[in-house]
Each structure stands twice: as structure tokens, then as C-alpha cells.
Amino acid sequence: MDLSRLCIHTITTRPWSLDVAIEQYSRAGIGGISVWRQALAGQDVRRAGERIGNAGLQVVSLCRAGFFTSHTAAERRQAIDGNLTAIDEAAALGAPLLVLVCGATPGQPLELSRQQIETGIAAILPHAESCGVRLGIEALHPMYAADRSAVNTLAQAIDMAQRLGSPQVGVVLDVYHVWWDPHLYDEIARCGRLGRLFAVHLSDWKVPTTDMLNDRGLMGEGCIPLAAICRAIQAAGFGGFYEVEIFSSTYWQMNQKQFLQHIIAAYTQL
């Protein structure tokens, strides 16, 4: 069972502290870990990165920064400052990638939010480049367009990365957010051709979905054509990790060791 390209997001096993997650992922033979910033609260980030490395795990990304939009210039400036700090954290942790959830401000036209996002990323890009941290624009499901991200399709994310121009900016593809897109396969291929596919997040869309935030499914439990999407991702030349990111009130209530075994089984089956 080769789990070298499997990565788990610490938010997936939210009840575990970072150290428990490191220990358990490592014991299970998993190759990578994506660290949520909440899991780092109150910790020395550099030392956390060392503990991860010592456990034989690779840090895949730091999640998440972004949220560039606001009605006021002062808040947008604050957001940029916060993102510069997140880049420093990523560098200290040894994370090659910072995931950006770009933001949306209710009542503000999405077109304006998109401009603010692009301006914000452009503002932090030089620091990211000098720290050697890549920035990943994550397209979020349209059901989050009101208040979480005005970037809702892979095409938008790719176009924005292209306009920003730096090889340091790319796209995070989360199947939960983009599986419905009629242009999905074309955009995956384009993203690969452009060398902009930086990360892949896996979970599943349950039927019914009872909560818009915390009711994601384990791979195979829902209706996303994961095998087809993963084939397209491989065909696009992606050689990175497959990252399991599951927000689930149900799974968070479960015994996390059992849950981890379920994740491994679902990944292996896929």
C-alpha cells in the first residue's frame, strides 16, 4: 500500500492536536501533511516544521490565507499584512505552498471583489517570491460566492494566475468546489499545460448534503467522479500529493484513528 503521495489536512482530523496528527499520520505511513494555521496557534512554527520533518512527513501546504476583499482600503491593507505574515509562517514551517481562499464581501459586486483579490495577490507576490513560497489560488464552490470567495471556477483561478504572471502563482484544485463545472476537464488540461496546477484536494459531495460547510464526504461516499478527475489530473502531468481535506461534523465526532483508517482505505480504493 503506497501512501507516499497521500497527504492529509490537519483540519480533516480536527480533534487531534498537531503533534497527535503528526504521530498518527507518520505511523500510518502517509507521505504528506497540510497544516491548518489554527493547528499552529501558540506554537513555534519553525519547531513544528522540524517535528514534521523528523517524523518523516513532508509539509505540502499551509492553509489558509487570502480574504483580500473589503469595503474599506484599511481592511484590505490589513488583509495584505496578514497574508505577508502567513507567507513568513509558511517559510518557517517549510511549506512550499500557501493556499489562498480569496474572499468575498457580501453586497460588494463580485467583479470588484475579483479586482481586489488580484491586487492583493500582486501586493504579496514579491514577498512570496523572496521567501520561496508558492501561492495557490483556490476556486471555491459558487455556493460560497457571497462571503468566502469571488473566485468560483478553475478558469477564473487559472486566468488570474496567468495575469499575475509569476511562476510562483498557481491554482489549487479542490474537487468539492469544481466537480460540477462543465469546463472541468478542459480546464484541468489547460492548467497542466501552463504548469499552474499546484495542489489537489480530495473529498466527496454527499447526497443529500445537509450542511453547506461541514458535511463533506469521504472519497467514494458521494457523487463526484473522482476516478475520472484523478485520471485527468494525472494526464495533465500533476506529480504532487493527493490531499484529503474533509470538513465533517460527523467524522469529527468519530474515533479519529478509525477515521484515519477509513481515509486510507478510501484513498487506496481510488
Q: Applying CB under 8 A, which residues contact a copy of itself? A: 106-107, 109-110, 114, 141-143, 145-147, 152-153, 155-156, 179-182, 205, 207-209, 212, 222-223, 225, 228
**C-beta of 36 vs 205, nearer to a copy of itself:** 205
Are 96 and 59 in contact by the 8 Å Cβ rule? The answer is yes
* Least spacing, CB of residue 184 vs a copy of itself, in Å: 9
**C-beta of 40 vs 188, nearer to a copy of itself:** 188
Q: What is the DSSP pairing of strand 6-9 with strand 97-101?
A: unpaired
Using CA atoms of 82, 87, 92, 96 in order, give the dihedral in degrees to the nearest 10. 150
Q: State residue 246 phi and psi, 5-degree precision.
A: -125, 115
* Least spacing, CB of residue 109 vs a copy of itself, in Å: 6
Q: What one-character-per-residue DSSP string does 170-197 give?
A: EEEEEHHHHTT-TTHHHHHHHHHHTT-E
* Least spacing, CB of residue 64 vs a copy of itself, in Å: 19
**C-beta of 223 vs 235, nearer to a copy of itself:** 223
- Tell me the residue type at 104: A
* Least spacing, CB of residue 63 vs a copy of itself, in Å: 21
Contacts of 139 by beta carbon, 8 Å cutoff, 6+ apart: 149, 151, 152, 153, 154, 156, 157, 171, 172, 173, 174, 177, 178
**C-beta of 68 vs 205, nearer to a copy of itself:** 205
* Least spacing, CB of residue 158 vs a copy of itself, in Å: 12
- Of 246, 179, 227, the closest CA to residue 7 belongs to 246
**C-beta of 226 vs 244, nearer to a copy of itself:** 226
